[in-house]
Amino acid sequence: MSEDAAITPSWLSPDPTSWASGGGSLLTDNSTGGLGAFPSEDSLAAGPLPLLVNPWDIVLCSSGTLIACENALVVLVIWQNPGLRAPMFLLIGSLALADLLAGLGLVLHFTCAYLLRSDSAQLLTVGLVVASFSASVFSLLAITIDRYLSLYYALTYNSERTAAFTYTMLVLLWGLSLCLGLLPVTGVNCLAEEASCSVVRPLTKNNVAVLSVSFLLLFGLMLQLYVQICKIVMRHAHQIALQHHFLAATPHYVTTRKGVSTLAIILGTFAACWMPFTVYSLVADYTYPPLYTYATLVPATYNSVINPVIYAFRNQEIQKALWLVCCGCVPAGVAHRARTPSDV
């Protein structure tokens, strides 16, 4: 890329107005001016002022701000509370930290793109976003594995072996995520060859294909683990029912069904947020309309908004810590709420 070429601040195209087009190539002639280049007086007289900021980028930046604020609260609570050091809370903290970095990455990408207009800054922020969202998805898998182990090995779960296994998972998931995030920075990008670009610039088509296939494999593994978790929960509920001569309509059976429904909601939310973008990035390339990419990418970021609600704010111990941070007290309803099968 020549030094006098206009820098592309958008995730997708050098043309700031191409997001609204219904088709055509995403690659425009940089010599005609890119985002951040002010129009000439002749162009102003000939037509309306072009949009200097992509509205979809504003949506992504707003999502990033919400994600960062929400997950920063979770990280702060877990960090300041010494009682939240069990493997489960470490994994929830890893998820919150990954989502926090993802939110900051979206905000930084918007800021650097429209202020610095630098290829180096673009690569760094995209690398941060890739690494953070990868760590978020890996943390979700780690949480699923932890929940399965806590049920399958209920008697030996709270042991030093479990803690060591948790630390090993954390090191592996963050190490792998860092490697994935460094790929665009170390040269695996399409800045020098626009034809190799994927639906998200400057990631290459092969890079995005690897990420998408990895996601599908992780989703399949999570699905299998949640099926096993449901079987264990239902088997335990049946054993308790036999021991206490409970009927199917008893409160315990209702809460067990609620727990299974909760698992379905967790997995369904994860799939609804990420699956559209994953499938689309596999079948599409840089010639597809940018509108489709934004329409699938924005919901994927919403998964990081929902994660704290599902995994952190529903947890009784974290609820107590939040009440202590916010008002210095814990309501009686939160302090004495018993754990039920719906809390899986």
**Contact in structure between 142 and 91 (CB atoms under 8 Å):** yes
Residues 6+ apart with CB under 8 A from 87: 146, 162, 163, 165, 166
**Helix (H/G/I), strand (E/B), else coil: 204:** strand
**Contact in structure between 322 and 333 (CB atoms under 8 Å):** no
**Residue 40 pLDDT:** 46
First to last CA, the chain: 52
* Nearest one of 148, 85, 64, 145 to 318, comparing CA atoms: 85
**Residue 255 pLDDT:** 55
**Contact in structure between 300 and 269 (CB atoms under 8 Å):** no
**Residue 241 pLDDT:** 66
**Residue 34 pLDDT:** 34
Could you tell me the two tokens for 18?
Answer: 């191409």
In this structure, how many other beta carbons lie within 10 angstroms of the beta carbon of residue 330?
A: 15
Burial per residue of 34-43, b for 16 or more beta-carbon CB atoms within 10 angstroms, e otherwise:
bbbbeeeeee
**Residue 114 pLDDT:** 85
**Residue 196 pLDDT:** 87
Vertex 70, ends 65 and 72: CA angle to 5°? 95
Burial class (CB in 10 A: 0-12, 13-18, 19+), 19: buried
Distance between CA atoms of residues 135 and 140, nearest Å = 9
Averaged over successive runs of 10 residues, the pLDDT of the chain (344 residues) comes to: 44 49 35 37 47 85 95 93 88 96 95 84 92 95 90 77 90 96 89 87 90 94 91 77 58 58 85 94 90 93 94 85 74 56 48
pTM: 0.81
Residue 204 pairs with which residues in a beta bridge?
197
